[in-house]
Structure 1
Amino acid sequence: MNYSDATVWWIIAALGVGTFLIRFSFLGLIGSRPMPPWVLRHLRYTSVAILPGLVAPLVVFPAATDGVPDIARLLAATVTIVIGYKTKGVVRAMLGGAITLFVVQFLLG
Protein backbone atom coordinates (compact mmCIF):
# COMPACT_ATOMS: atom_id res chain seq x y z
CA MET A 1 0.00 0.00 0.00
CA ASN A 2 1.28 3.40 -0.90
CA TYR A 3 0.01 6.37 1.02
CA SER A 4 0.71 9.96 0.15
CA ASP A 5 2.68 12.08 2.58
CA ALA A 6 -0.43 14.05 3.50
CA THR A 7 -2.36 10.85 4.32
CA VAL A 8 0.43 9.60 6.56
CA TRP A 9 0.53 12.91 8.45
CA TRP A 10 -3.28 12.89 8.86
CA ILE A 11 -3.08 9.36 10.30
CA ILE A 12 -0.30 10.40 12.70
CA ALA A 13 -2.27 13.47 13.79
CA ALA A 14 -5.47 11.46 14.30
CA LEU A 15 -3.66 8.84 16.37
CA GLY A 16 -1.98 11.56 18.41
CA VAL A 17 -5.32 13.25 19.16
CA GLY A 18 -6.89 9.88 20.02
CA THR A 19 -4.06 9.01 22.39
CA PHE A 20 -4.28 12.43 24.02
CA LEU A 21 -8.03 12.08 24.56
CA ILE A 22 -7.67 8.63 26.10
CA ARG A 23 -5.04 9.86 28.57
CA PHE A 24 -6.84 13.13 29.23
CA SER A 25 -10.00 11.24 30.16
CA PHE A 26 -8.17 9.80 33.17
CA LEU A 27 -5.65 12.48 34.04
CA GLY A 28 -7.55 15.64 33.17
CA LEU A 29 -11.12 14.75 33.98
CA ILE A 30 -10.73 12.27 36.83
CA GLY A 31 -7.19 13.05 38.06
CA SER A 32 -8.12 15.54 40.77
CA ARG A 33 -11.06 13.57 42.14
CA PRO A 34 -10.78 10.68 44.56
CA MET A 35 -11.56 7.33 42.95
CA PRO A 36 -13.73 4.70 44.58
CA PRO A 37 -11.85 1.91 46.36
CA TRP A 38 -13.06 -0.74 43.89
CA VAL A 39 -11.51 1.21 40.96
CA LEU A 40 -8.20 1.58 42.80
CA ARG A 41 -8.22 -2.13 43.61
CA HIS A 42 -8.64 -3.03 39.93
CA LEU A 43 -6.03 -0.53 38.76
CA ARG A 44 -3.40 -2.25 40.91
CA TYR A 45 -3.53 -5.22 38.53
CA THR A 46 -3.05 -3.24 35.31
CA SER A 47 0.70 -3.82 34.98
CA VAL A 48 0.34 -7.47 35.97
CA ALA A 49 -2.17 -7.90 33.15
CA ILE A 50 -0.30 -5.91 30.50
CA LEU A 51 3.30 -7.08 30.95
CA PRO A 52 2.67 -10.77 30.19
CA GLY A 53 0.77 -9.75 27.07
CA LEU A 54 3.76 -7.76 25.90
CA VAL A 55 6.39 -10.36 26.78
CA ALA A 56 4.67 -13.63 25.80
CA PRO A 57 4.89 -13.09 22.02
CA LEU A 58 8.60 -12.30 22.38
CA VAL A 59 9.13 -15.62 24.17
CA VAL A 60 6.85 -17.88 22.13
CA PHE A 61 7.41 -16.35 18.65
CA PRO A 62 10.72 -14.45 18.87
CA ALA A 63 11.65 -12.42 15.82
CA ALA A 64 15.32 -13.17 16.46
CA THR A 65 14.72 -16.83 15.53
CA ASP A 66 12.12 -16.22 12.79
CA GLY A 67 9.25 -17.20 15.06
CA VAL A 68 10.71 -20.49 16.25
CA PRO A 69 10.72 -20.81 20.07
CA ASP A 70 14.20 -21.41 21.43
CA ILE A 71 15.43 -22.89 24.68
CA ALA A 72 17.21 -19.73 25.85
CA ARG A 73 14.08 -17.56 25.87
CA LEU A 74 11.85 -20.27 27.31
CA LEU A 75 14.35 -20.98 30.08
CA ALA A 76 14.78 -17.25 30.83
CA ALA A 77 11.01 -16.80 31.03
CA THR A 78 10.72 -19.79 33.36
CA VAL A 79 13.50 -18.48 35.62
CA THR A 80 11.86 -15.04 35.67
CA ILE A 81 8.51 -16.50 36.70
CA VAL A 82 10.04 -18.69 39.40
CA ILE A 83 12.16 -15.90 40.89
CA GLY A 84 9.22 -13.49 40.78
CA TYR A 85 6.93 -15.99 42.47
CA LYS A 86 9.43 -16.92 45.17
CA THR A 87 10.78 -13.45 46.01
CA LYS A 88 7.86 -11.21 45.00
CA GLY A 89 10.53 -8.87 43.62
CA VAL A 90 10.08 -7.53 40.10
CA VAL A 91 13.62 -6.22 39.69
CA ARG A 92 15.18 -9.46 40.96
CA ALA A 93 12.99 -11.49 38.63
CA MET A 94 13.86 -9.34 35.60
CA LEU A 95 17.57 -9.43 36.41
CA GLY A 96 17.49 -13.19 36.92
CA GLY A 97 15.71 -13.70 33.61
CA ALA A 98 18.05 -11.36 31.74
CA ILE A 99 21.16 -13.02 33.19
CA THR A 100 19.75 -16.45 32.36
CA LEU A 101 19.01 -15.37 28.78
CA PHE A 102 22.51 -13.97 28.22
CA VAL A 103 24.28 -16.91 29.86
CA VAL A 104 22.29 -19.55 27.96
CA GLN A 105 22.72 -17.69 24.66
CA PHE A 106 26.48 -17.42 25.34
CA LEU A 107 26.74 -21.14 26.17
CA LEU A 108 24.71 -22.21 23.13
CA GLY A 109 26.67 -19.94 20.83
Structure 2
Amino acid sequence: MTLSTAEIWLVILGLGAGSYLLRLSFLGIVGSRELPEWLLRHLRYTAVAVMPGMITPMILFPTATGGQFDIVRMGAAIATIAISLWTRNATLTIFGGAAALFALHFLLAA
Protein backbone atom coordinates (compact mmCIF):
# COMPACT_ATOMS: atom_id res chain seq x y z
CA MET A 1 0.00 0.00 0.00
CA THR A 2 1.48 3.28 -1.06
CA LEU A 3 0.31 6.65 0.15
CA SER A 4 0.32 9.82 -1.85
CA THR A 5 2.23 12.86 -0.66
CA ALA A 6 -1.00 14.56 0.41
CA GLU A 7 -2.04 11.53 2.47
CA ILE A 8 1.34 11.40 4.20
CA TRP A 9 1.10 15.09 5.10
CA LEU A 10 -2.44 14.59 6.34
CA VAL A 11 -1.26 11.81 8.65
CA ILE A 12 1.66 13.94 9.90
CA LEU A 13 -0.59 16.93 10.59
CA GLY A 14 -3.22 14.74 12.25
CA LEU A 15 -0.66 13.11 14.55
CA GLY A 16 0.82 16.51 15.36
CA ALA A 17 -2.60 17.95 16.24
CA GLY A 18 -3.43 14.89 18.35
CA SER A 19 -0.13 15.16 20.22
CA TYR A 20 -0.66 18.88 20.79
CA LEU A 21 -4.20 18.38 22.11
CA LEU A 22 -3.07 15.57 24.43
CA ARG A 23 -0.33 17.76 25.90
CA LEU A 24 -2.69 20.74 26.12
CA SER A 25 -5.15 18.68 28.13
CA PHE A 26 -2.53 18.20 30.85
CA LEU A 27 -0.47 21.37 30.66
CA GLY A 28 -3.01 23.95 29.56
CA ILE A 29 -6.14 22.82 31.32
CA VAL A 30 -4.91 20.90 34.38
CA GLY A 31 -1.46 22.52 34.68
CA SER A 32 -2.49 25.32 37.03
CA ARG A 33 -4.68 23.18 39.28
CA GLU A 34 -3.70 21.01 42.21
CA LEU A 35 -4.05 17.33 41.34
CA PRO A 36 -5.52 14.91 43.87
CA GLU A 37 -3.08 12.73 45.80
CA TRP A 38 -4.50 9.48 44.39
CA LEU A 39 -3.85 10.65 40.82
CA LEU A 40 -0.30 11.78 41.63
CA ARG A 41 0.36 8.39 43.23
CA HIS A 42 -0.74 6.61 40.03
CA LEU A 43 1.23 8.95 37.77
CA ARG A 44 4.44 7.96 39.56
CA TYR A 45 4.16 4.50 37.99
CA THR A 46 3.89 5.73 34.40
CA ALA A 47 7.60 5.29 33.58
CA VAL A 48 7.67 1.90 35.30
CA ALA A 49 4.78 0.78 33.12
CA VAL A 50 5.97 2.28 29.82
CA MET A 51 9.70 1.50 29.82
CA PRO A 52 9.44 -2.31 29.91
CA GLY A 53 6.97 -2.19 27.04
CA MET A 54 9.43 -0.19 24.97
CA ILE A 55 12.59 -2.09 25.91
CA THR A 56 11.43 -5.73 25.99
CA PRO A 57 10.85 -6.07 22.22
CA MET A 58 14.34 -4.66 21.59
CA ILE A 59 15.80 -7.38 23.81
CA LEU A 60 13.70 -10.35 22.71
CA PHE A 61 13.38 -9.53 19.00
CA PRO A 62 16.25 -7.19 18.07
CA THR A 63 16.21 -5.77 14.55
CA ALA A 64 20.01 -6.06 14.41
CA THR A 65 19.62 -9.85 14.24
CA GLY A 66 16.58 -9.88 12.01
CA GLY A 67 14.25 -10.50 14.95
CA GLN A 68 16.12 -13.59 16.14
CA PHE A 69 16.90 -14.12 19.82
CA ASP A 70 20.34 -12.82 20.75
CA ILE A 71 22.17 -14.13 23.81
CA VAL A 72 24.35 -11.00 23.92
CA ARG A 73 21.38 -8.66 24.38
CA MET A 74 19.67 -10.99 26.84
CA GLY A 75 22.85 -11.29 28.88
CA ALA A 76 23.28 -7.53 28.92
CA ALA A 77 19.66 -7.10 30.02
CA ILE A 78 20.13 -9.56 32.88
CA ALA A 79 23.37 -7.84 33.90
CA THR A 80 21.64 -4.45 33.78
CA ILE A 81 18.82 -5.68 36.01
CA ALA A 82 21.36 -7.15 38.45
CA ILE A 83 23.35 -3.88 38.54
CA SER A 84 20.14 -1.93 39.11
CA LEU A 85 19.05 -4.13 41.99
CA TRP A 86 22.53 -4.12 43.52
CA THR A 87 23.39 -0.41 43.28
CA ARG A 88 19.99 1.35 43.10
CA ASN A 89 21.79 3.98 41.02
CA ALA A 90 20.42 4.91 37.58
CA THR A 91 23.73 6.23 36.25
CA LEU A 92 25.67 3.12 37.24
CA THR A 93 22.90 0.97 35.82
CA ILE A 94 23.04 2.70 32.43
CA PHE A 95 26.82 2.62 32.14
CA GLY A 96 27.05 -0.88 33.60
CA GLY A 97 24.45 -2.17 31.14
CA ALA A 98 26.27 -0.56 28.22
CA ALA A 99 29.58 -2.02 29.42
CA ALA A 100 27.96 -5.46 29.74
CA LEU A 101 26.55 -5.19 26.22
CA PHE A 102 29.90 -4.24 24.72
CA ALA A 103 31.81 -6.85 26.74
CA LEU A 104 29.40 -9.66 25.84
CA HIS A 105 29.39 -8.58 22.22
CA PHE A 106 33.18 -8.62 22.18
CA LEU A 107 33.43 -11.98 23.98
CA LEU A 108 30.57 -13.93 22.36
CA ALA A 109 30.17 -12.43 18.91
CA ALA A 110 33.84 -12.33 17.95
Report % sequence identity.
49
User: What is the alpha-carbon root mean square deviation over aligned residues?
Assistant: 1.0
Deviation track 1:3-47 (CA, whole Å, cap 9, x = no partner) reads 111111111101100011111111111011111111111111111
TM-score between the two structures when normalised by the length of structure 2: 0.93
Distance in 2 (CA, whole Å) between partners of 1:80 and 1:36 is 35
Q: Which residue of 2 aligns with 1:11?
A: 11
SS in 2 for 1:10: helix
Residue 43 of structure 1: aligned partner = 43
Aligned to 1:55: 55
Deviates more, 1:83-92 or 1:94-103: 83-92
Partner of 1:91: 91
Deviation per residue, 1:53-92 (Å, 9 max, x gap): 1110000001111111111101110011111122222221
Distance in structure 2 (CA, Å) of the matches to 1:64 and 1:70: 9
> What is the CA–CA distance in structure 1 between the aligned matches of 2:28 and 2:20, rounded to whole Å?
10
Please name the residue that 2:77 is paired with: 77
Matched residues, number: 109
Separation in structure 2 between the aligned mates of residue 45 and residue 89 of structure 1, nearest angstrom: 18
Mark the runs of 5 or more structure 1 residues left unpaired by the alignment: none
CA distance in 1, matches of 2:22, 2:88: 31
For structure 2, list consecutive stretches of 5 or more residues without a partner in the other structure: none
- For 2:7, give the aligned amino acid: T
Q: Tell me the distance in 2 between the aligned counterparts of 1:79 and 1:42.
A: 29
